[in-house]
Amino acid sequence: MESLLSPSMLRQKIRRNQFSSNTSGYCSGYVQANLCILPQQQAHEFLQFCQLNPKPCPLIGMSATPGDYQIPSLGKDIDLRTDVPQYRIFEYGRPIAQVCDIRDYWRNDLVAFVLGCSFSFEEALLADGLEVRNLTEGVNVPMYRSSIQCQPAGTFSGNMVVSMRPFKAADAIRAIQICSRFPAVHGAPVHFGDSSEIGIQHLNQPDFGDAVTIRAKEHPVFWACGVTPQVAVEQSKPPFCITHAPGAMLVTDQLNSRLAIM
């Protein structure tokens, strides 16, 4: 069964171009991550942006030196040029290509940033018996451009993108407790209830992903989202940037449970 592939086996398939789709549901138990690659010239400011905004941009790994496409702490054999199913190439903030391999685009001045992703905390919520609506409905989580401003760092700035999952009050309290243990994957929610308080007018019209059902007595609960750095890249328009394609993540050898701070 595909879902029983080890992270290393899945990465090998991705590397051989035998797998190019979304990684959701694969390699249960292991950390999947967002990827953002920038030239050295922008990398320092982006690193600062991550450090100032740890909830949307939780850094779990980066190139040891410019040009380094390996992240041995997250998987000995990881090659960031080939091990993500789909990459997006940006020039001056505009997408110019979507590819399965970035060896032709790689440069010696590129610095890769690996950021935690909500898949990890969704697994912890499920393991606690909570229902995660986007998973139940088999869609991408709804994501919205909020009015919450990130701390700017040099040319990088922008508002926080948030993901939303609906819960009844008691389950929302439990979700807050569980996610507080996982600051490396966005941590506790940033808001619940009236979405207009954070600049979101229509919950049924997400800016990214898909709308989900919100039932009676349920509160929309909002988490900082890993799409935030992509929006910051859109706005700061660096000459060159590579990211993963949404949902097609870097699958690592690190266990989700090891991200828990307690």
Name the one range near a second copy by CB under 8 A: 3-11, 23-31, 156-164, 186-194: 186-194
* Contact call for residue 172 and a second copy (CB under 8 A): yes
Name the one range near a second copy by CB under 8 A: 59-67, 78-86, 118-126, 172-180: 172-180
Distance from CA of residue 113 to its chain's centroid? 11
* Contact call for residue 139 and a second copy (CB under 8 A): no
CB of 51 to a second copy, least distance (A): 21
CA distance linking residue 189 with residue 164, whole number of Å: 9
* Contact call for residue 177 and a second copy (CB under 8 A): yes
User: Restricting to residues 198-237, which ones interact with a second copy according to CB under 8 A?
Assistant: 217, 219
Q: Which of 52, 194, 202, 213 binds a second copy (CB under 8 A)?
A: 194
Structure tokens at 127: 């393991």
Question: Among residues 14 and 175, whose Cβ is nearest to a second copy?
Answer: 175
CB of 177 to a second copy, least distance (A): 5
Of 244, 247, 236, 207, which Cα lies nearest the Cα of 114?
244
CA distance linking residue 174 with residue 165, whole number of Å: 13
CA–CA distance from 94 to each of 16, 34, 89, 90 (Å)?
Answer: 28, 19, 8, 5
Name the one range near a second copy by CB under 8 A: 22-30, 38-46, 151-159, 188-196: 188-196
* Contact call for residue 1 and a second copy (CB under 8 A): no
Structure tokens at 183: 């600051």
| Dihedral Cα 117, 7, 211, 224, nearest 10 deg | 0
Strand partners, 111: 38
Question: Among residues 71 and 198, whose Cβ is nearest to a second copy?
Answer: 198
Evaluated on CA atoms 193, 198, 204, 206, the torsion sign reads negative
Radius of gyration, CA atoms only, the chain: 18
CB of 147 to a second copy, least distance (A): 13
CA distance linking residue 8 with residue 225, whole number of Å: 26
Q: Which of 8, 24, 180, 257 binds a second copy (CB under 8 A)?
A: 180
Q: Is the Cβ–Cβ distance between 154 and 45 less than 8 Å?
A: yes
Question: Among residues 176 and 214, whose Cβ is nearest to a second copy?
Answer: 176
* Contact call for residue 29 and a second copy (CB under 8 A): no
Burial class (CB in 10 A: 0-12, 13-18, 19+), 17: exposed
Question: Among residues 181 and 237, whose Cβ is nearest to a second copy?
Answer: 181
Q: Which of 31, 190, 232, 242 binds a second copy (CB under 8 A)?
A: 190
Name the one range near a second copy by CB under 8 A: 94-102, 185-193, 205-213, 245-253: 185-193
Contact positions toward a second copy, by CB under 8 A?
169-170, 172-173, 176-177, 180, 188-194, 197, 217, 219, 262
